[in-house]
Structure 1
Amino acid sequence: MLKAKSLLLLFIAATIGLTSFAQDTGRKTISLNDQWQFSKEGGQVEQVNIPHTWNDKDVLDDAPGYYRGLGIYKRKLKLDESLKSKEIFLVFNGVAQEAEVLVNGRSAAKHIGSYTRFIVPISAYLNYKNDVIEVKANNRFNEDIPPLTADFTFFGGLYRNVSLLITHPVHFLQTDNGSGGVFITTPQVSASSASVQIKSAIDNASANARKVQVESTIFDAKGNSVTRHTTALNINKNEHKTITQDIRSIPKPELWSTENPYLYRVVTKIIDVKTKSVIDQVSNPLGFRWFKFDADKGFFLNDKPLKIIGASRHQDYENRGNATPDALQIRDVELLKAMGGNFLRVAHYPQDPQILEACDRLGILASVEIPVVNTITETDAFTNNCLNMQTEMVKQNFNHPSIIIWAYMNEILLRLKFSNDKPRQQVYFDHVRELAQKLDSLTRKLDPSRYTLLVNHGAWDIYNKVGLTKIPMLVGWNLYSGWYSGVPEDFGKFLDRHHKELPNTPFMVTEYGADADPRIRSFSPIRFDKSVEYGIKFNQVYLNAMLSRPFVAGGEAWNLADFNSETREETMPHINNKGLLTIGREPKDTYFLYQAYLLGKPYLKITSAHWKDRTGTADSAALTSTQPVQIATNLKSAELVLNGKSLGVKDAVDHIIDWQVPFVNGKNQLRVVSGSQTDQADINFQLQPFKFNDDQIPFKNINILLGSKRFYIDEKEHQLWMPAQPYRAGSWGWIGGDPYKGTNNRITYGSDKNILGTDNDPIYQTQQVDIKQFRFDVPDGEYDLALYFAELVGGETKEALAYNLDNNHKKEVAEQRIFDVLINGTAFLPKLNLAADFGYTTAVKKTIRITVQNSKGISIDFNAIQGKPVLNAIQLRKIY
């Protein structure tokens, strides 16, 4: 069956070669995404489709590192001999990160860089019988290729679309840094008129001189021709020429803006003078707009002030790595628009062409940057690769009206080299500054119409000292006050400092954010607890500070969606949780908050509706448990109704309204109303008895996190975990000890280590240290009890994340910890030594069935032999 399918595909390809050029209307582009054979170096061969990465699974396992090496892709190509008179190219939109393309065993091209397109002429290598395409891709570490280090995963593979391009011998140039050969600018734009300049590079690969016409037509959004310009051209064999067409006045153009992203289309044709036939044709978007950044007043689009608020984006997707299909790429931009955002920072590298096309259509302003992140290598090869990447980025994306900024460095002084050798460090700083200046100068030369941007982290003094704030036209600051360092209120102080000390330099906040694991909730959110609620508070402070300061051009949340970072551990290992969306693109409460701040139409949303399943202890003897519920809105006030009963009208504060809601056991219907706006949600609540002898609330099961003030939702096993409480007679709780607070001054909440052997890391990342006892005053019966442990101190010392700016990371000294665990006076786990018996940061779960009789309940005692006993979590289920 597979063989028959392959023959059919080859027949289709042959048919294209025979018939598609009957009318000779120009170029043909044919997808080559199917029928590839792939193998790692020395590995087994498998059949794959493009986009493809070999790192979609190994970046998520518990083993440190992931495959960074050679991957080989092969594909047969059946072309009819009638195509010998054509020019044939392979178009690769993204290969990570070193690529060599071979045709029939002969090297046709090499390319460096994971994130830009390259086009390979292959006519000279074809036999038109049984051609074989081979791509050798390598994502190994190479000190001469950026990025060197970064807080994202360097996926390998042929991970963007591949196509075959067939053209006439006279065609638009395809060998200029992956560009399309046509560059469009708008030298003058106003509401009354606009001018357009079109530069077209024409290549003649035929054996004869040719007379052609280059015809450019501008069409409006309805397809009507607005103007046409034709230029005669004589071009010799094996020559390429560039012509410039000036269209001096288009009256009253429809302007492109974020509210009205009106797109014209420029169709440029090469027409054979003799036959009058079109021998090549390309289409490009055209948007009429003008813009400026002002150091005092912020950003202006078409002379109207516009506060830039949006997000940055990484290109990977849940369980797919970077091999993300077109539809999911486009959906990201649609989600940003639906959030009310008007800006996309394409970070930290150029991304799929679909992204900027969507920005053009939807009215999203954009910046794009090359992946010079954290550090540089002081070699000519590294510098040249950076310059080549910048050239490719600008030329390939030149015609997108959504782009207003080209960027080239991100947090380049984050990981300081030569800290113990100040003279050598100064030499390094000089090289960094020289590279920045070269990139900035190159960019301004390639495209004088847009701004240049260099992005710094919040180390004000060093960036000014090295001189990096003086090079670009626009400065970007990545600020995490209240996350990596300090408190959220420091953020506004930093903004004011820039305006005071660099009063003539416009700037944006290019990153800000706090981790928000969608499985973690808290009623008393604090830094590093990873709760959604802390993310809400954090983003409120930042949005208020930026919106209230006209001199702040805008800000981009980090990040639009959670993304893969293999070296991270934390509550969801290998994932950076700062996204407003999950890695599977489900909205978090923070996304709803942005809608409340940014949408221009009435908005009302029960943000806590995402927390559909809750648990909690009854309020005293009541049959309810009172917990907060949040509503995000851009309206002044709203009323909340629970199970048909009003809980009152409240005013919004910073676009959030909080209600204390008395949940009943089972289904709870919430409805919020403000004028004609409504929203509703059903919350399933598992009510725990205040005391176990309360017959009105029968006890079923309870899952408790020790040393924690957060709730955890185990989505896979549908279990709800709640914070522990001190022991209360007739109920349950711990006796003795204190919450684990880490071994350095930065982490004050649990551990951020990857817990081996589990996907439920938050269950094991907090614990009660020096615990004496845990009690359940349950009535007589049969119960299943589970105790959860993990040794959080000791083990391999790993490099601290450079982003933790106040991190006093030091080698942990593992203490000897041995203790007995007894249940109702009987030994259960004698001489338990977690590190020796199971290993460090390893999930340990021990279960037992208990018969409770004589009204004794359940007592778990922890008797120290050496060191301090610990307990991470506990679970009790009644059998009968």
Structure 2
Amino acid sequence: MKYTCRHLITLLIPCVLLGASTSYAQNKPAKLISLNDQWKFSKDQVAGQAPSPNLSWGNFSIPHSWNTTDVMDDEPGYYRGTGWYKRKLKLDASLKSKEVFLAFNGVNQETEVYVNGKLAGTHIGGYTRFVIPLRGFLNYKDDEVQVKVTNRFNEDIAPLTADFTFFGGIYRNVELMVTEPVHFSKNDHGNSSGVYLTTPEVSKEMASVKAKILIENASAKEIKVQVHTALTNADGVVVAKSTATLTVPAHQKSTFEQDLKNIKSPQLWSPENPYLYRVITQLIDVKTKTVLDQVSNPLGFRWFKFDAEKGFFLNGEPVKLIGASRHQDYKGMGNAVPDALQIRDVELLKKMGGNFLRVSHYPQDPQILEACDRLGILASVEIPVVNTITESAAFTENCKNMQVEMIRQNFNRPSVVIWAYMNEILLRPKFTDDKPRQAVYFKHIVTLAQTLDSLTRKEDPSRYTMIANHGSFDSYHKIGLTKIPMIVGWNLYSGWYSGNIEDFGKFLDRHHQELTDKPMLVTEYGADADPRIRSFSPVRFDKSVEYAIRFNQVYLNDIIKRPFVSGAMVWNLADFNSETRAETMPHINNKGLLTLGREPKDIYLLYQAYLLKKPFLKIASGTWKIRTGVADSSKSFATQPVQVTTNQKTAELFVNGQSLGVKDAVNHVCSWEVPFVNGLNQLKVTSAAYSDELDVDFTLQPFEFSDRQVPFKEMNVLLGAKRFYIDNTTHQIWMPDQPYQKGSWGYIGGESFKGTNNRMSYGSDKNIMETDNDPVYQTQQVGIKQFKLDVPDGEYELSLYFAELIGGVTKEALAYNLDNNHQKEIVRQRIFNVSINGESFLENLNLAADYGYTTAVKKSTRITVQGGKGITLDFKTIEGMPVLNALGLRKIY
């Protein structure tokens, strides 16, 4: 198998900053200079060929996005329009004899670059690097660069729709490149190395390297040059070299190849030993002996194959690929994420024990694959042809260009083993009411897939091609999309978006039986996990961490035990922004193993237990440091489960110094029923010489209010719910409701709210306005008659929480819900009264009319309880059925 890797331009001389400009000392040209600072930005609705007059310009640094806040507010949509960036460049006159370029690593999604008011270059596509030559546009005195950017919808540019946000702006690094007139190519579809490396021969005994080198002569004279290429090991020792001489005509480009042969006993690159060589290529003027240009590329010797029966092999050894997909946004930053945080994502994947990264659904920052090379993470990369296509020549050409840019910019990456080009392309099929027209549309999809697959194999015969499909086997197989790529990827969500969790293994077996010659990957799987939501009886769609743990255990077990499954990438490494989503955490898809701010969830710990080879032991409920619960009968403790993730066979748990015994690990989890007492509970788990500790602050609720051993202070109850909710801002814990029990508390009458579709069997998935605590309002008791609390005499603060969950703006159902039988909501008038201990509190309460649909409503009051009457809430119907979403009670004295 051949090897590939990507360039790394050597930084030579730093720039000197003078005020708001960048200045270069004479005879000291820089190869690569960051231009991230001193930019000005303004939105511009006009979108002309120059900024509108009288714009309000602000000072910004790159990376930058104009959508970091509007994607998180409750207003539907976000700014998809035009913005202008501008920056001064003060270049020394000595640079008139040099070639000057601007390199943009990522701008979303259409770009026009103007220099001194003249159009210097354009680019289409938001996720690949592009380079703009500046020679001929500069005055070398007081130059100004203006960049027009738009992230508007354009039917000829992918992606058209997707479950992620299309942030606008110059959101990756910007660089200035300065070269001699004769140099390695700086603009081969965004590749600024000009050197492409392959390894025609790789084994444990011997290896060879072939370098394809692109040289440009921008001068008016032909020049004789020497090309010197050296392979150095990790210690800097030259292990192979080659030198050749050629003549490059004036104003011409030349392509030249060099071979490095007979490299004995090469160190092989692998996840366990990501050994990197360097290939240093120099361009030397034969006459003056001057080094005109130099580039350095990493190189890793490895060979690999995917087998439909036996899975993936690296360097002749079977390797199960387990890892994650990744989106590039970060909490509070959108896509404008600094290098250090980009690299940290790959480090977190490695720390988890993962060995594969699906770079989805678009090429990402160069730092990502550089980190994969360095850390030993295998990878796939894809262009953003997601959900649907446009049947136009322009769309096809843009896709082809994106594919070529992706391949050439990342060609020299040992980590990359797969190029992909489509994701869930039949998820939102057009022309559903016109089957003949739909058949034509499907033919266009197949033609585009064949075009991109052939293009990819021609560009890089050494790697595999792949399409990632959603879980409709028959749809993709029928039109032939399973036959085109070398690997078929499946995005499977049995037990979440569709079907039962047990269907997952059956789907894998079906592929193996019907596509006997086609290697497969599970390119996506996952379940939402809101780290604020916990449950002792987890069910589908409750968004609890516990359901996600069970879901991933089943999937991992089915993946690992089937050799023909080459690997799987959980969806997703971290939560990511999806502006159109609502659910418990609006505008965020929270299937991540990490939060949007990269805090680990319990499922991340589960993956460490499954994948790490060194001993691992961790209390999985480490994010659940504050708890509450009702005491067991008249006892002064509440028994609740605690899970520990581990790769050890057994573990022992101690609570407040007392052992709860040794438990066997089942699917890498040990579980205990823990008697939590009021106040601080110290947990310690041990296994052999390893241990982990956690302090849990527990608020014990009395079994009966008359119990003096457990004095009542405060409680917060979710109606119609079987889950706990942790408000991290106020440190309040919300617990599930219960039917009324004499001497205690609970509801009387009614039933839990169920949504208007068969999929949403748990509460509502709508965005609740005017609150960040959506789970408090997304469940409710419908038709409630009473809520009673048999509290002792005293002064109390009572809060009632309401939201009308039926009605309002009808949103398109998520296309990912494959068994979604969405029924039209029947909106009925709902008017009711609420009284407290016989006294009227809320009259003619009409939530929709008075406050609006799906809007948080909180009503609080103080109550003096006397005569042993406790608190009784009565709900009286005027029209429709009364509801109560949540209740809070706090004793004052």
Matched, 1:193 2:196: no
SS in 2 for 1:525: coil
Say if 1:606 and 1:631, in contact at 8 Å, map to a contact too.
yes
Residue 14 of structure 1 deviates from its aligned partner by 5.9
Matches within 5 A, 1:68-467: 68-179=80-191, 180-467=193-480
Say if 1:797 and 1:811, in contact at 8 Å, map to a contact too.
no
Q: Distance in 1 between the 2:694 and 2:480 partners?
A: 53
Partner of 1:3: none
1:563 to 542, 555, 576: 576
- Per-residue CA deviations over 1:396-453 (Å, capped at 9, x if unaligned) read 0000000000000000000011111111000000000000000000000000000000
Residue 186 of structure 1 deviates from its aligned partner by 0.5
Partner of 2:613: 600
2:809 to 796, 805, 817: 796
Identity of aligned residues (%): 69
- Per-residue CA deviations over 1:520-566 (Å, capped at 9, x if unaligned) read 00000000000000000000000000000000000000000000000
Q: Distance in 1 between the 2:246 and 2:569 partners?
A: 46
Matches within 5 A, 1:710-859: 710-859=723-872
- Per-residue CA deviations over 1:786-806 (Å, capped at 9, x if unaligned) read 000000011111111100001
Q: Distance in 1 between the 2:243 and 2:65 partners?
A: 45
Name the CA shift for 1:152/1:12 in 2 (closer, same or farther; >3 Å): closer
Q: Distance in 2 between the 1:273 and 1:517 partners?
A: 64
Say if 1:410 and 1:454, in contact at 8 Å, map to a contact too.
yes
Partner of 2:488: 475
- Per-residue CA deviations over 1:374-412 (Å, capped at 9, x if unaligned) read 000000000000000000000000000000000000000
- Per-residue CA deviations over 1:143-202 (Å, capped at 9, x if unaligned) read 000000000000000000001000000011122100121100011100000010001100
SS in 2 for 1:774: strand
Q: Distance in 2 between the 1:783 and 1:261 partners?
A: 63
Matches within 5 A, 1:637-652: 637-652=650-665
Q: Distance in 2 between the 1:246 and 1:280 partners?
A: 20
Partner of 1:4: none
Residue 16 of structure 1 deviates from its aligned partner by 2.8
Residue 246 of structure 1 deviates from its aligned partner by 1.1
- What amino acid does structure 1 have at the position aligned with 2:32? T
SS in 2 for 1:123: coil
Q: Distance in 1 between the 2:401 and 2:601 partners?
A: 38
Q: Distance in 2 between the 1:801 and 1:745 partners?
A: 13
1:9 to 8, 17, 36: 17
Say if 2:636 and 2:710, in contact at 8 Å, map to a contact too.
yes
Name the CA shift for 1:213/1:12 in 2 (closer, same or farther; >3 Å): farther
Residue 226 of structure 1 deviates from its aligned partner by 1.1
Partner of 1:62: 74
SS in 1 for 2:554: helix
Say if 1:219 and 1:226, in contact at 8 Å, map to a contact too.
yes
Say if 1:199 and 1:243, in contact at 8 Å, map to a contact too.
yes
Say if 2:712 and 2:891, in contact at 8 Å, map to a contact too.
yes
Q: Distance in 1 between the 2:130 and 2:383 partners?
A: 15
- Most deviating of 748-757 and 277-286: 277-286
Matches within 5 A, 1:11-50: 16-21=24-29, 28-41=31-44, 44-50=56-62
Q: Distance in 2 between the 1:524 and 1:556 partners?
A: 27
Say if 2:16 and 2:25, in contact at 8 Å, map to a contact too.
no
Q: Distance in 2 between the 1:14 and 1:390 partners?
A: 34
TM-score normalised by length of structure 1 = 0.98
- What amino acid does structure 1 have at the position aligned with 2:18? L
SS in 2 for 1:430: helix
Residue 20 of structure 1 deviates from its aligned partner by 2.0
Say if 2:322 and 2:569, in contact at 8 Å, map to a contact too.
yes
Say if 1:90 and 1:163, in contact at 8 Å, map to a contact too.
yes
- What amino acid does structure 2 have at the position aligned with 1:248? K
Q: Distance in 2 between the 1:612 and 1:449 partners?
A: 50
Name the CA shift for 1:388/1:290 in 2 (closer, same or farther; >3 Å): same
TM-score normalised by length of structure 2 = 0.97
Residue 233 of structure 1 deviates from its aligned partner by 1.4
Residue 19 of structure 1 deviates from its aligned partner by 4.7
Name the CA shift for 1:126/1:725 in 2 (closer, same or farther; >3 Å): same
Q: Distance in 2 between the 1:456 and 1:163 partners?
A: 37
Say if 2:21 and 2:88, in contact at 8 Å, map to a contact too.
no
Say if 2:240 and 2:261, in contact at 8 Å, map to a contact too.
no
- Per-residue CA deviations over 1:317-343 (Å, capped at 9, x if unaligned) read 001000000000000000000000000
Q: Distance in 1 between the 2:660 and 2:23 partners?
A: 70
Say if 1:17 and 1:83, in contact at 8 Å, map to a contact too.
no
Q: Distance in 2 between the 1:431 and 1:229 partners?
A: 47
- Per-residue CA deviations over 1:110-161 (Å, capped at 9, x if unaligned) read 1000000000100110001110001100000000000000000000000000
Partner of 1:668: 681
Q: Distance in 2 between the 1:529 and 1:12 partners?
A: 53
- Most deviating of 659-668 and 807-816: 807-816
Partner of 1:519: 532
Say if 2:829 and 2:880, in contact at 8 Å, map to a contact too.
yes
Q: What 5-or-longer segments of structure 2 have no aligned partner?
A: 1-14, 46-54
- What amino acid does structure 1 have at the position aligned with 2:85? Y
Residue 693 of structure 1 deviates from its aligned partner by 1.2
Q: Distance in 2 between the 1:20 and 1:227 partners?
A: 31
- What amino acid does structure 1 have at the position aligned with 2:799? A
Residue 45 of structure 1 deviates from its aligned partner by 1.2
Residue 11 of structure 1 deviates from its aligned partner by 6.4
Q: What 5-or-longer segments of structure 1 have no aligned partner?
A: 1-6, 22-26
Say if 1:820 and 1:865, in contact at 8 Å, map to a contact too.
yes
Q: Distance in 2 between the 1:825 and 1:397 partners?
A: 73
- What amino acid does structure 1 have at the position aligned with 2:70? D
Say if 2:23 and 2:90, in contact at 8 Å, map to a contact too.
no
Residue 224 of structure 1 deviates from its aligned partner by 1.1
- What amino acid does structure 2 have at the position aligned with 1:464? H
- Most deviating of 330-339 and 691-700: 691-700
Say if 2:16 and 2:24, in contact at 8 Å, map to a contact too.
no
Q: Distance in 2 between the 1:803 and 1:74 partners?
A: 41
Q: Distance in 2 between the 1:365 and 1:19 partners?
A: 42
SS in 1 for 2:200: coil
- What amino acid does structure 1 have at the position aligned with 2:35? L
Matches within 5 A, 1:478-517: 478-517=491-530
- What amino acid does structure 2 have at the position aligned with 1:20? K
Residue 15 of structure 1 deviates from its aligned partner by 5.2
SS in 1 for 2:67: coil
Partner of 1:546: 559
Residue 44 of structure 1 deviates from its aligned partner by 2.3
Q: Distance in 1 between the 2:25 and 2:490 partners?
A: 53
- What amino acid does structure 1 have at the position aligned with 2:365? D
- What amino acid does structure 1 have at the position aligned with 2:408? K
- What amino acid does structure 1 have at the position aligned with 2:655? L
Partner of 1:695: 708
Q: Distance in 2 between the 1:374 and 1:327 partners?
A: 32
Partner of 1:619: 632
Number of aligned positions between the proteins: 869
Q: Distance in 2 between the 1:11 and 1:164 partners?
A: 18
